Structures are given as structure tokens and as C-alpha cells.
Amino acid sequence: MSSTAEMLTTHLNNAGVDTSLLAATIEALNDCASTCTTCADACLSEDSVADLRACIRSDQDCADICTATARVLARFTGDNAVVVKQQLTTCITACSSCAEECEAHADHHEHCRVCAEACRRCEKACAELLGALP
């Protein structure tokens, strides 16, 4: 059991959300955030950095949104269900957009392929959690 899952099981008020699904989503968010941050940095080291500006911006936006979403979910007590749903929706949009941008460069840049895959996993995890919320 991950530390995230273990911590969530100790929480007295989980608002009826499946703890393992919540933990998996938080972990996917944190993984996506770090992957996007690393992809942006890798893009900056490419010779064609000017061609990767949109990718870098998308990576940075996605990383920030994923980080914020993970933090909101980690303190989900049920009192902020509207905010949680909107944040998850925003994160799904950011992950989808970043994945599309990275997929456009994946044939030439391995880091973009890896990032696109992380974004798609995160997008899916957020959608699954959103669908499971009361």
C-alpha cells in the first residue's frame, strides 16, 4: 500500500469516496506533474526549442494543474464536492491538451512520448474518479 493510500485510510471523513481510487488518482496526478515538468525541461534542451514553445507551455500548465488537483484531492472531506468536480474537469482538459501537444512531437522526441502517455493515464484516472463521485 502506498503512503498516499495508507494516509487516506486513516482519514475520518472520506465523503464516501473509494479510498483506493482516490489514492490512485492522486498518484497519477503527481506522476503526471513530475513527468510534465521533466518534459518541459527536456524540450528546453533540444536544438529545436523554438518549435517546442507550445509544448513547453502546455507541459508547465498541465504540471501546475495536476499539482493543484492532487492537493485539493488530498484534503477532500466532502465539503468541497463542487470544487473537486470542477478541478477534476479542468485537469482532464489540461491533460488531454498536453497529451495532444506532446503526441505531435513524439516521433522526434522520446520525452514527449513518455509525457503524452503519463497525461493520458492521468486523464483517465481523473475521469474515473469524477465518474465515481456522488
pLDDT tens-digit map of 49-88 = 999 999 999 999 999 999 999 999 988 666 788 899 999 9
Q: Is 11 contained in some domain?
A: no
Spell out a b/e string for 58-78, using b for 16 or more CB atoms within 10 Å of the CB, else e.
bbbbbbebbbbbbebbbebee
Task: Give me the CATH number covering residue 24.
Answer: 1.20.1270.360
Q: Is 72 contained in some domain?
A: yes
| Residue 48 domain boundaries | 18-132
Task: Give the pLDDT band (50/70/90) at residue 14.
Answer: low
Total domain count, the chain = 1
pTM score of the predicted model: 0.93
